[in-house]
Amino acid sequence: MFDGSDPIDIAPAERRARLRLARSARVGPITFHEALAHFGSARVACATLATVADAAIEREERALAALGGRFLVVGDAHYPAALAALPDAPPVLSMLGDPNLLDRPALAIVGAREASLAGRHFAAKLAAALGTAGFVIASGLARGIDTAAHEAALDSGTVAVLACGVDQAYPPQNAALQETIAARGLILSEVVLGAPPIARAFPRRNRIVSGLSAGIVVIEAAARSGSLITAQRAAEQGREVFVVPGSPMDPRYAGSNSLIRDGAILVRDANDILSVLGQPKAAAQRLEKPAQIPVESDTARIVQALGSVPTAVDELVRRCQVSAASVAEVLMALELEGRLERHRGNRVSLI
């Protein structure tokens, strides 16, 4: 639980301005970071742009404090450097629990919601072994694989990233586990208090899970599962992608086996992961290397390729040389920020 004693690296006025800017209408992660780069600080941006009132921030901050939580803002001491280095890093996260877990190297474990008993057992075994080795286990608190990984890592440290407000219990059957993680681990969310889970929030949640982590482990991913999108984002973020293989006759492993075919690292036990990443200290040093974050990100290339003239989405994929999934996620983020207009013929343009 936050006791108000941990250090903050940015001045209070700039921190409050970043909260205001991040919570303003039509300002998402991309726009936020562009505004900081353009104006030099959030204070100058807020003096120039129409931003949310300070009173609204105070209300949310009080409500979060009443739950025992606080905001984590880009620039705060506990904000993970590897996450902050991403071009679409969340400007503000609400958190409940122990922020010191963010100072330790993490590994993400994700997979099927409707997981098999064997898959859940393996996820728990892997999470426990990696936790014993010193890693914090990150996941999305979904049913199945996520749940098994969180439960097995409660003693060693676990971080759950939500696609809804931290005051919302989702999924409902994990309400008790969510409370336990808030007390013994850490709950994070990019969205405002009170926000219910909506479909488009889950891919954005997943980029945080992978962005926090030195690597991501995929267990039981079907051909069109969200875990494949998470794995794609992890690879784009410079993270290692590990995959547990399965029978080619089992549709729950169709996506998993495809990832291995395309170059992901096959995992039989925790040693296969530790042999690549090393112990937690070595994994943390890997994340600190600037070369792991592309100089020109996929997000930057896609935004640069867009303009006021409608462009076909397929043309964006070819021109930017990135995956269709990456293009779709960036376009979704821009649309949520009110910066994208969709046209007939699967064409898009910037507003």
End-to-end CA distance of the chain: 42
**What pLDDT, in 10s, does the model give residues 31-45?**
899 899 889 999 999
pLDDT exceeds cutoff 90 at 271? yes
Dist. CA 206–CA 194, nearest whole Å:
20
Q: pTM of the full predicted structure?
A: 0.83
**What pLDDT, in 10s, does the model give residues 72-120?**
999 999 999 999 999 889 999 999 999 999 999 999 999 999 999 999 9
pLDDT-derived band at 297 (thresholds 50, 70, 90) equals low
Identify the sign of the CA torsion 140, 143, 148, 151: positive
pLDDT at residue 1 in the model:
39
**What pLDDT, in 10s, does the model give residues 171-225?**
999 999 999 999 999 999 999 999 999 988 998 999 999 999 999 999 999 988 8
pLDDT at residue 294 in the model:
42
